[in-house]
Amino acid sequence: MLPQPCAEKKGFATLLAILAIFAIGTTVAVFALSLAIGSSRLALDLSKAKTAQALAYQCAELAVQKIKDSPDFTGTENFSYGWGTCEYIVTSEIVGGTIDWQIDSSGTSGDAARKVRLAFSATIPLPPNLPIPILDSWREAASFD
């Protein structure tokens, strides 16, 4: 009896079809997983950036309160939290009857960092009154030059 060539080819064709479907399915799954991982990393980076920005703003507000409490304050303070750190530097200059303050505040969360610079001014009042700082500018900065 002679072998039946058609039966052998049918099995081979079925095997090739199954292997092709498996390869396509595996490729789609790997692609979907890599997209999900990339999306998760992007979301984490965005979260860290927003946290760093919030920390920079928080330190800036702490510096403003420090100036309101003690208008002659200049200096630096650092704060550390479980989710990041922040730092502010306050400088001041008296020009005539006006006092000008500059606040450089930065926040860091993981490898994300954000910076903000504020400028305030006030007329120097007669004692015992304290100057009332007025915001001149508030801007995010890439660096403090």
- Looking at the chain, the whole-number percentage of residues with pLDDT higher than 70 is 93
Residue whose token pair is 């479980």? 82
Q: What is the pTM of this model?
A: 0.74
Which pLDDT band holds residue 8 (cuts at 50, 70, 90)?
low
For the cut 80, the answer to whether the pLDDT of residue 69 exceeds it is yes
Could you report the per-residue pLDDT of 26-56, keeping only the tens digit for each? 999 899 888 888 888 888 889 999 999 999 9
pLDDT at 125: 86
Q: Where are the domains of the chain?
A: 5-141
What are phi and psi for residue 111, nearest 5 degrees? -100, 10
User: Looking at residue 107, what is its pLDDT?
Assistant: 96
Q: How does pLDDT run across 101-121, given as a tens digit for each residue?
A: 999 999 999 999 999 999 999
CA distance linking residue 106 with residue 15, whole number of Å? 62
In the numeric block, which tokens belong to residue 60? 């800036």
Q: Are 107 and 85 in contact (CB under 8 A)?
A: yes
CA distance 101 to 87: 16
